[in-house]
Homo-oligomer: A and B are copies of this chain.
Amino acid sequence: LTQPLVIIVMGSDSDLPVMRGAADVLNTYGIANEVRVLSAHRVPDKVAALASGAADAGVKVIIAAAGMAAHLAGVTAAHTSLPVIGVPLRSESTGLDGADALYSTVQMPPGVPVATVGIGAAKNAGHLAARILGLIDPAIAAKVAEFRRSLAEEVSAKDAKLRELGVDAYLAEKGR
């Protein structure tokens, strides 16, 4: 097994369908990662142990995702000196539209920062981890730059096709 550089931890396995987006992005970059299900409220000691021991185990970045009163990223950041990326998740049944998780993740007290991405933004957590890891591995930095170029090309290609086809034909072709 490869030693993971990034740990992706989430509060519940119901978050997995969204959060796999972070793993998928990291895999695209060839960044070894491990996905964990550990709740700050149900197994706080395991979260503490994971976070406390991560740096020594060779982990570089921890991505932590949770919904509602989303404490997982903050608690993780409290137990490590590594950068921690927080992903606030929206919970359909409990209202507040993700604002609860966003505020619970981003509004950290002085000295214990969480690098927060958008609501449900699992993929951006992966891209942010890659930008950070690019600082220690030029190959990853090159892939991030390449990815940014591909984003630009993709949009440019769509723009060119739209200008060529017009709105109706473009939407018709897309709808196929």
Contact = CB atoms under 8 A, between A and B. Distances in A.
Contacts of A36: 159, 162-163
Contacts of A90: 93-95
A121 to B, nearest CB: 7
A141 to B, nearest CB: 6
Interface string A133-176: 11110000100110110011011101100110011001100100
Q: Size class of A's contact patch?
A: 35 or more
A59 to B, nearest CB: 10
Copies of this protein in the assembly total: 8
A172 to B, nearest CB: 11
A41 B166 CA distance: 24
Contacts of A96: 97-99, 103, 107, 119
A156 B108 contact: no
Given A36-B162, A136-B136, A115 B95 contact: no
B111 A69 contact: no
A171 B20 contact: yes
21 contacts: A36-B162, A37-B159, A40-B74, A41-B77, A41-B109, A43-B159, A44-B78, A68-B103, A68-B118, A69-B114, A75-B75, A81-B145, A94-B118, A96-B119, A100-B103, A103-B104, A106-B106, A111-B148, A112-B124, A113-B125, A136-B136
